[in-house]
Structure 1
Amino acid sequence: MAKKDTVVYPAIFEPDTKVDAINVTFPDVPEAITYGRNEEEAAYYANDALGLALVSRGNLPKASSVKDVKLSKDQYVVLIAVDLEEAKRKIRKPTIRKNTTIPADLNEEAQKAGINFSEVLTDALRERLHE
């Protein structure tokens, strides 16, 4: 059972082989657009994009039924759930700059892989603090 402040909307996932990514749009919330390098990342960013759009717009559009979503070739539907209270907290939180030290070889590998250091550190801290 979903929490009281949780909403669920269908997202259209569309693989883009030119850039090896999955584009994500929402038929009911057209301003929520994102992508990811794989399904897991696309779903993660879809949650953030949808939450930001819904909180920013102030009203909640009616979510389409999955069976009513029109798809073209290679597209598929994924349901994305958003906790609106959590989305509001994310928007209100200011960020601060932290200086950190890591081994040079690890830094080179991470940069080559296009890793966002702030995102990784934030995710690791959230995981560690919420165990």
Structure 2
Amino acid sequence: MANRIAYPVVLTPDECGYLVYVPAFNIDTSGKDMADAMEMARDAIGIVGIEYQDQGLALPNIDDGEMITEANDIVTYVDIDFDAYRLKCDNRRVRKNVTIPYYLNLKAEKLGLNFSRILEEALLVKVGY
């Protein structure tokens, strides 16, 4: 089951795009346009949220924090799946032992192909990234 939560955010238009405040985490970020601001908010929530989890702290409730707004502010929600975000950010490499036909190995080595890169690219396509 997904660990998806939607947190309220306050978007404040400014000359560079949007300033973003996430009350539940008491964090700020910004974006050059609305879409970028939403993505930056999701990223900030993800980074801080998995840090909370790693430290054994409970994630804030969606209504935690003080929601202070002004006339031009936009209040909306940004959703995040912390489990998926953690996986996306975990770029550790793991060693895998694979078996391929001998003739294919010879041809690939002769061409100087990078087996790890080819396997990674094929897996990304196979799993839908």
Give the TM-score band, short-chain normalised: 0.5 to 0.7
5+ residue gaps in structure 1?
96-124
2:20 is equivalent to residue 21 of structure 1: no
Question: What percentage of residue pairs aligned between the two structures are identical?
Answer: 19
Deviation of 1:10 after TM superposition, in Å, equals 0.2
Aligned to 1:64: 63
Quick one: distance in 2 between partners of 1:94 and 1:14? 36
Partner SS, residue 18 of structure 2: strand
Quick one: distance in 1 between partners of 2:3 and 2:78? 14
Quick one: distance in 1 between partners of 2:89 and 2:28? 17
5+ residue gaps in structure 2?
94-120
- Structure 1 consecutive aligned stretches of length 4 or more whose deviation exceeds 4 Å: none
Aligned to 1:106: none
Report the aligned-residue RMSD: 2.5
- Give the residue type in structure 1 aligned to 2:49: L
Aligned to 2:2: 4
Quick one: distance in 2 between partners of 1:78 and 1:48? 16
Quick one: distance in 2 between partners of 1:60 and 1:9? 11
Please give the per-residue CA displacement for 1:2-30, whole angstroms capped at 9, x wherever unaligned: x631011001101112xx21011101101
